Amino acid sequence: FFGAFSSKNGINVVKAQGEEAVPDQCTEDPPHFVAPPHTGRCMNWTQDLVNNYTYPDDFKDSNNETIYSNFTQYVCGKGTEKYRLFDSNGIPDHDVMQGNKNAPCEVHWFIKVPYFPSFAAQVSELPPRSIIGMSMNGVPAFGPQEVGNSNAIEFDPNGTVKDAGFWYGHSTLQKVWHFHNPFMGHPNPSSDDLLGYALDGFPIYGPLDDETDRNCLDECNGRVIGRIYKYHIMRSEWVDENKFYFEQDENSWMLQRIHC
């Protein structure tokens, strides 16, 4: 499930609000990004009802202009200093259901991760909240907890947040659209689907086709295929809640340590 991988390396994240200011191509010289004032465009969705919205037909601002998803991936630098740069306005490119009163706004993300990630000396746990990765449609992936340390994935009809665990995501009080669900904008991903990248630079793929295949995964739910290390998410029905996952917080139960 989300958080079914733990960090193999460090991170370098910059969140900026403003118009896109990305060069046409990323040369060997690191680009310089300028962040002018945020456009401030937000969806004009109904604030007091739960509604379904079709992309892009229903993704309109107050002037009835379409707010399209805008995501670009750049590969910059050279040699061992090469890195990926993700530029996104944070708007999903698929249908959604708004389950709270926080209609999303554009938030411009610039995220830099290593192109050649390396293993750290020891496994470190993911932060339970805030961004832990970037999906391939430009929507940030957050950790497994909601505000108040509640479980974002496991639906609680008596909880204060009831819309966090769906594959299409939801919006924060600050109107930032994001995912907690490991499917990261895919209704039913396969093991071959690249869902995004963790902030350590390693790719995140869909769940393996069979639960028995998980025996080939390491303690971070990753494996090496063709000399490339990949994380794989877990399906919820594969999670054994009777097993020990995290040391610090019983609500961070997403990481099942598997020894191969």
CB 5 within 8 A of CB 214: no
Look up tokens 């830099």; give the residue.
112
Q: Residue 172, Cβ neighbours under 10 Å: how many?
A: 16
Q: Is the whole-model pTM more than 0.85?
A: no
Which residues of the chain, if any, have pLDDT below 50?
1-24, 28, 30-31, 34-38, 244-260
Q: How far is CA 186 from the centre of its chain?
A: 12
Nearest to 176 by CA among 210, 140, 216, 134: 140
Q: How do residues 79-101 score in pLDDT, each as one tens digit?
A: 888 889 998 999 999 999 988 88
Task: Give the strand pairing for 222-225 and 194-198.
Answer: unpaired
